[in-house]
Structure 1
Amino acid sequence: MSLDFFKAFRTVFAKEIVDALRDRRTLLRLMIPSVLMGPLMLVLMSSLAASLQDRAEQREVLVAGIGHAPTLRNYIERQTYTIKAAPADYEAQLRSGKLTDPVLVVPANFETLLAGGEPATLEIVSDSANQRAEAGMGALNRLVQGFGNERAGLLLAMRGLSAQQLRPLDVQERDLASVQARATRLTQMLPMFIMMAVLYGALTAALDSTAGERERGSLEPLLVNPAPHAAIVVGKWAAVLMAGLMVAVLSNLSFLPGQLLMRSDALAAMFQFGWGEALRFLLLQIPLGMGLSAVLMALAIRTKTFKEAQASTTLVITAVALTPMVAIVNPGGEASWHLWVPGLGQNLLMMQVLKGEALTLAKVLPTVISGAALTVAGLSFVSRSMRAAVAR
């Protein structure tokens, strides 16, 4: 490349950076959310984890009709649980979300059936749309199953038989997931917010440097300069990329002090996000930022006003927001082609970072290639559009 190209590139790049820094109101709108995003997300997630942990420690059971089952009451209290009477309208409260615990319903003939050796039916009522109540289903199920196993063991003992005869197999569970991997069940939305930070950081700069300048009437005079159009395009693109990465840096770093505000000790122990993870997050965002910056400029260069450019970029915002949902709704179903999809590939790799897994070149390279391809295609379109504008 010629000396004129680099000189024009530096001039345009410096101009775009200065123009962006002058708009302090826009800078504040970008910087403040990016700085607060990490602490707010971690506080919300840790609050949820802390509430679930507190409920588990309270060891309370809501029961309807416990007066019909003194043997069941005795068993539950021996397991150090506190029995509370369920409200009369527990079904309505479960549907509305006011009740956050499942309800154990005991029939009136419970003790009669047990005494007669007939199976008694216990009903556990919950609402799958009520996530807090659904979270308590497992513990309540295990408690009821424990009562049934104890009753069966007592009946066999009365007949001189061992309860082990009913359990020929001893099944033990072994979880292969690391501590950090288990934490991603709560932090799996974090990569999406990081990517959205990159997008919104580049969005305003991309629209202002193309459609904004055209609306103000400063784009055409810039294009008639003898400077190479490619240098002008690359200079604007580099400034847009810088804006997106600056917001990404603030968003990544915000999770470091945000860990100090976590309410759940268990989640704080599992969520390990240090300087190394923040650096890897940032490096993974560079190819995405490159491609998004070029695509946003390509969409905005064909519009005449800033508002029109905003409308044209809605599809990009929606696509970036939805791509991580593929991994969220289909956990464990990652395919090799996912790494080639901008946004989705970064989401998968950032999830690996959160799980404490090592990144390999074979996995990172597809995201770099796809980001570079988007960059070349977008900048080529912007350059052709600028040349066409000068010709007119």
Structure 2
Amino acid sequence: MIQFKALLLKELKEAFRDKRALMVALSMGFLMPVVIVAMSKFMIKQAVETPAIYVKFTGAEYAPKMVKQLKDANILAFADVPESDKKLWDKRSVEVIIPETFAQDLQEGKRIDVILRADYSEKSLAAPLRRIEREVRNYSRSIGYKRLLVRGIDIKILNPVQLQEQDTSQPSSNAMIISLMLGLYLLMGAFVSGQSIAVDASAGERERNVLEMLLCQPVKTQNIVLAKLISSALIATLSISIMLSLTTIAVGFVDLSKIGASFSLDFPTVGALMISLVPLCFLAAALQLFVGFQAKTFKEAQSTVAMLVMVPTMIPLALMFIESKPDWIEWVPVSGQSLIMEDLFKGLPIEWATLATTTLLTFVAVTGLVMAMAKRLQSEKVIQSLS
């Protein structure tokens, strides 16, 4: 035990001595809350506000009432565009073409083809084009309703079944913007924060011949691996703890009431999040150390370990496209923690049995990796980067 404490103290000193690696390790914890707040405010603004859309009308004089309805919806003529935005909207070139026969066809009850011309592949035009289409459809629907009323027909016959929606979700479930970003960043933080420490403790120490000197000492190889593992995992745990603490404060600066949502991280939620994320920090550290020991050079280890960041990114995204999830997905490391965090952010009760199973399987995987590394480090080829 004394030897293990000495090894752990040595690894922690090495981790905190390298200020640059420590800064990189903790950067996500400090920067991500700022990113979450900035992106949340931007997305809420886009969802709530209706900024002006400037359209090049052709034949506006033939349909003054429709143009007025569009104007009431803040869809304005290109002549009204401010000078500062004129270049932008000229490049977007959204055009509405109204036929000359609009009034006559409307009087005769014929179908009228109004043309909306724009570059539909331009992502920035997706929301403006939807707004224009919606307003034109509303104008067309209002004319159809008036025609039915003139003929003495009740417009209610068009909607014989009325669906009443009752949302049973918690108010926190509506804060999906923050939940998705925070959940993804927490998973990434577990894998990214200890990355530089793990690579330096494995491939870095081997290149500096420190690893060879350690293995020559009368200590168990398993203790050496465990000390490196705990050191890297503690840095990752510290990073996600900072991220959770700062996010709790930062979310208070986001007005979620505009979208009818609320978001808070109380002590039980934070505790459950830490219980689910700490095993991931150990798993990430174990994977990174394993790859670092397998790599022949420090540069190769950095490149290979960087690819591990894709794991926490791709798995949650893949789960979104699985409609019928099998039960075992809730127990598998990474996917299990991702689903648990999703339920926590929705305000659902914690399923402690699932959390315990996922945690146990994660530590089983960590134990397997530690034993594999301890065995590999007994080979001279691994120590000398010969295989």
TM-score, length-scaled by structure 1: 0.83
Q: CA deviation at 1:349?
A: 1.9
Conservation of the 8 A alpha-carbon contact between 1:63 and 1:106: no
* 1:241 match: secondary structure: helix
- What is the distance in 1 between the residues matched to 2:369 and 2:4? 18
Matched, 1:16 2:7: no
Change in 2 beyond 3 A, CA 1:156/1:248: closer
Matched, 1:133 2:125: yes
Change in 2 beyond 3 A, CA 1:176/1:102: farther
Deviations 1:197-222 (A, max 9, x none): 12122212212222222111121221
Conservation of the 8 A alpha-carbon contact between 2:171 and 2:260: no
Deviations 1:268-313 (A, max 9, x none): 9433334443333222111211212112111112334322321332
Q: CA deviation at 1:255?
A: 0.7
Q: CA deviation at 1:348?
A: 2.2
Match of 2:33 in 1: 38
Matched, 1:69 2:63: yes
Change in 2 beyond 3 A, CA 1:179/1:105: farther
Deviations 1:90-125 (A, max 9, x none): xxx9xx998789765433322221111112233455
Conservation of the 8 A alpha-carbon contact between 2:54 and 2:89: no
Structure 2: which amino acid aligns with 1:308? E
Conservation of the 8 A alpha-carbon contact between 2:25 and 2:194: no
Please identify, of 32-41 and 98-107, the stretch whose mean Cα deviation from structure 2 is larger: 98-107
Q: CA deviation at 1:86?
A: 4.6
* 1:168 match: secondary structure: coil
* 1:387 match: secondary structure: coil
- What is the distance in 1 between the residues matched to 2:36 and 2:90? 24
RMSD: 3.3
Match of 1:195 in 2: 187
Conservation of the 8 A alpha-carbon contact between 1:43 and 1:263: no
The one of 369, 372, 382 equivalent to 1:381 is: 372
- What is the distance in 2 between the residues matched to 1:83 and 1:214? 65
Matched, 1:300 2:298: no
- What is the distance in 2 between the residues matched to 1:111 and 1:366? 69
Change in 2 beyond 3 A, CA 1:377/1:152: same
Structure 1 residues 171-320: aligned runs within 5 Å: 171-185=163-177, 187-262=179-254, 266=258, 269-320=261-312
Conservation of the 8 A alpha-carbon contact between 2:36 and 2:178: no
The one of 43, 49, 54 equivalent to 1:54 is: 49
* 2:377 match: secondary structure: helix
Q: CA deviation at 1:35?
A: 0.8
Structure 2: which amino acid aligns with 1:67? E
Structure 2: which amino acid aligns with 1:64? F
Runs of 5+ unmatched residues, structure 2: 80-84
TM-score, length-scaled by structure 2: 0.84
Matched, 1:158 2:150: yes
- What is the distance in 1 between the residues matched to 2:89 and 2:3? 61
Conservation of the 8 A alpha-carbon contact between 1:214 and 1:304: no
Conservation of the 8 A alpha-carbon contact between 2:191 and 2:284: yes
Match of 1:90 in 2: none
Q: CA deviation at 1:7?
A: 1.9
Conservation of the 8 A alpha-carbon contact between 1:101 and 1:134: no
Matched, 1:346 2:341: no
Runs of 5+ unmatched residues, structure 1: 1-5, 88-92
Change in 2 beyond 3 A, CA 1:123/1:314: same
Q: CA deviation at 1:127?
A: 5.6
- What is the distance in 2 between the residues matched to 1:267 and 1:131? 23
Change in 2 beyond 3 A, CA 1:105/1:327: farther
Match of 1:120 in 2: 112
Conservation of the 8 A alpha-carbon contact between 2:7 and 2:227: yes
Structure 2: which amino acid aligns with 1:23? D
Match of 1:3 in 2: none
Conservation of the 8 A alpha-carbon contact between 2:55 and 2:76: yes
Structure 1: which amino acid aligns with 2:285? S
Change in 2 beyond 3 A, CA 1:83/1:242: closer
The one of 22, 28, 40 equivalent to 1:27 is: 22
Conservation of the 8 A alpha-carbon contact between 2:25 and 2:235: no
Please identify, of 219-228 and 258-267, the stretch whose mean Cα deviation from structure 2 is larger: 258-267
- What is the distance in 1 between the residues matched to 2:29 and 2:280? 17
- What is the distance in 2 between the residues matched to 1:125 and 1:178? 42
Structure 1: which amino acid aligns with 2:20? R
Change in 2 beyond 3 A, CA 1:60/1:222: closer
- What is the distance in 2 between the residues matched to 1:312 and 1:292? 13
Conservation of the 8 A alpha-carbon contact between 1:126 and 1:134: no
Structure 1 residues 98-113: aligned runs within 5 Å: 105-113=97-105
| Percent pairwise identity | 20
Match of 2:82 in 1: none
* 1:188 match: secondary structure: helix
Change in 2 beyond 3 A, CA 1:361/1:40: same
Conservation of the 8 A alpha-carbon contact between 1:262 and 1:268: no
Match of 2:139 in 1: 147
Change in 2 beyond 3 A, CA 1:347/1:128: farther
Deviations 1:234-289 (A, max 9, x none): 22211121111111111222212222443665259433334443333222111211
- What is the distance in 1 between the residues matched to 2:41 and 2:190? 24
Aligned residues: 376
Match of 2:347 in 1: 356
